Amino acid sequence: GAPVSNVAGIGNGAKNGVLIKGGEVMNTLANVDTLVFDKTGTLTEGKTAVTQVKNYGMDNTSLAMATAIEQHSDHPLANAVVQFANDHGIDSDRYSVKSVDTIKGRGVQATINGQQVLIGNAALMMDHRINLLTQQQSDLVGIQNQGSSSVIVAVAGKVQLILGISDVVRQNVAESLQQLKRLGIKKTVMLTGDNQATAEAVANQIGIDTVHAELMPEQKVAYVKKYQSQGHRIAFIGDGINDSPSIATADIGIAMGGGTDVAVETSDVVLMASKFDELVHAFGLAKKTVANTK
Ligand code: ADP
Ligand code: MG
């Protein structure tokens, strides 16, 4: 069985909102040197909201079309679009959307009244040879440099709408990352499917060392494996949307308590209140517990 001091450590963790699944987890966690974080829903709350609207001339038509399509998607960006349209009384029911195609890592598309509607990132537009005008390009860069995500809507081959969608960074993230460094963490990494500029803006805001952006879920796992193969001991912290495989692959998988059921089940450690104080506490506790058993 686990050493008595480890069991005491687990009890202490539970009192502070951290679920640590077994004594062996304590030992492994104490030896972690690299923390790898998912962005959306982990470093941020995952509560997306439209905060900027750049409309290039179709009145509310392009927003109504986008809403009719995004109703069929459960992506956090789609939720923000639908919420925004509802709040502003946009009537999207006038468009019937029979089927929506999801384009992995890019966005969604559908046909409305014989017109192709594309909703997603710049890569999606590039795939369809849709150019952004100079003003549209600078609007997009402006949104991303603030750390907001962006959604581009093109109708019949022309960009009609760009939305800026913000998400709040969780409380105490910057302070917690500094404390973790003092406790012995050597390196912090962000992995995200979001675009490079948005990811870097958020990383700079909170003090993350390295950013890998525009990733597919399987590329997140590949980065975890790459850091492991370089001799690092990794804890991956995620919410389970797109990142459960990374939670399972890391030396220690840490799930946000508010994350998916799969994430919570697959993980070694659960931050019950999805708080960064809990992460600091868990790591500090592991260090202390292991020091006591030596
Ligand atoms: P992530 O959710 O981690 O960003 P995804 O692979 O789900 O990764 O999506 C990658 C990118 O594709 C998103 O960052 C976004 O730019 C775009 N995207 C995906 N789904 C949608 C959607 N329903 N509406 C708008 N954009 C989308
Ligand atoms: Mg996430």
Which pair of tokens denotes residue 165?
A: 């969608």
DSSP string, 26-89: HHHHHT--EEEEEIIIIIB----EEEEEEE-SSTTHHHHHHHHHHTT---HHHHHHHHHHHHTT
CB 35 within 8 A of CB 152: no
Query: Which ligand is in closest contact with the Cα of 74?
Result: 1
| ipTM reported for the complex, 2 dp | 0.95
Closest CA to ligand 1's atom 5: 105
Partnered with residue 102 across adjacent β-strands are 108
> CB within 5 A of ion ligand 2: which residues?
38, 40-41, 239, 241
Amino acid at 157: G
Instruction: Give the tokens for residue 109.
Output: 């598309």
Find the ligand nearest to 153 CA.
1
78-101 pLDDT, tens digit per residue, is: 999 999 999 999 999 999 999 999
24-73 pLDDT, tens digit per residue, is 999 999 999 999 999 999 999 989 999 999 999 879 999 999 999 999 99
Asked whether 188 and 37 are in contact (CB, 8 A), the reply is yes
| Residue stretches of the chain with pLDDT short of 50 | 1-5, 8
Domains assigned to the chain: 4-45+169-293 (3.40.50.1000), 49-166 (3.40.1110.10)
